Amino acid sequence: MASIPVLSSYLSSTSLRNSHFSSSNPNQLPCTLALSALFGTKISIQFSNSRRFAPKKYCRATSATVSSSLPTTKHQTVAPEKLPKWSARAIKAFGLAELEARKLKYPNTGTETLLMGILVEGTSKAAKFLRANGITLFKVQEETIELLGKSDMYFYSPEHPPLTEQAQRAFDWAVDEKVKSGEEGEITVTHLLLGIWNQQDSAGHKIMASFGFNDEKAKELAQLMDRDVDFGLKKQVESSNDG
């Protein structure tokens, strides 16, 4: 009876053959492995790019574009071109709110994810006020899932989940409040946060209330509405020189 060769002899016969690399097939990875079987049969294993076999609907990019503007609103008395501009922090908070909605696989961007976007952005006076009152991103995320539940694991949110009706009303409230004030300057994150609070039936309002936010705190926060302004580099230099 023939003896069975030791394992080391077969390991030495295993070789990686670079000569089989093919540039004519873009879907084939440059890896062709020649193996010797126990009884001398040579096996050739070729690895191909798995993307050619995966259904396109499952091949989704992990990155997402962040919105550079906020949803427009039709104002009754002010022409669109004369409406106050949103601050850079508010625009960033909105873009991050869309990403939070996508992480949760929600079909829409609601007041609850707007609240998350404000906390993720984190540098506004509104976000700092929330954290000072014990309202953190982790708590809001947990309360959102508790209140609204989890989405279907096979559902994919659109790249820019549309606003819910309540979230759109929060934006409209913020714009109206800025116009009513008659003051110059941008619409800040604080305007948006108070807009969320103003929507009493919304998930965002309920989440804030569950952590002790109330009308008294809203009045306190309202005093910061026009202080959360983004200054350009030139204005920063000028103000530092004046000081």
Identity of residue 25? N
Do residues 167 and 114 lie in contact, with contact meaning Cβ atoms separated by under 8 Å?
yes
Structure tokens at 136: 């953190």
Please say whether the beta carbons of 174 and 138 come within 8 A: no
93, 119 in Cβ contact below 8 A? Answer: no
Please report which helix (H) or strand (E) contains residue 43, including its range: strand 42-48
Element (H, E) at 46: strand 42-48
Rounded Cα distance between 88 and 92, Å, is: 6
Domains recognised in the chain with CATH numbers:
7-50 (no CATH), 69-234 (1.10.1780.10)
Q: Is residue 105 within 8 Å of residue 155, measured between CB atoms?
A: yes
CB atoms within 10 A of CB 217: 16
Token code pair at residue 37: 């079987």
- pLDDT (tens digit, 9 = 90+) per residue, 124-171? 999 999 999 999 999 999 999 999 998 877 777 778 899 999 999 999
d(CA 72, CA 231): 23
* The one-letter amino acid at 130: L
Q: Is 225:186 a contact under the CB 8 Å cutoff?
A: no
The pTM of the full predicted model, rounded to 2 decimals, is 0.66
Whether 228 and 129 have beta carbons less than 8 Å apart is answered as: no
The amino acid at 120: V
Chain segment 172-225, per-residue pLDDT in tens = 999 999 988 888 889 999 999 999 999 999 999 999 999 999 999 999 999 887
Kindly state the helix (H) or strand (E) to which residue 31 belongs, with its residue range.
strand 28-36
Give the type of residue at 212.
G
User: Among 181, 180, 214, which residue's Cα sits nearest to residue 197?
Assistant: 214
Residues 6+ apart with CB under 8 A from 171: 70, 71, 73, 163, 192, 195
Which residues make Cβ contacts (< 8 Å) with residue 92, sequence separation at least 6? 66, 121
pLDDT grade, residue 229 (50/70/90)?
low
Of residues 3 and 186, more confidently modeled? 186
pLDDT at 76: 65
Dist. CA 165–CA 99, nearest whole Å: 18
Q: How does pLDDT run across 106-120, given as a tens digit for each residue? A: 999 999 999 999 999
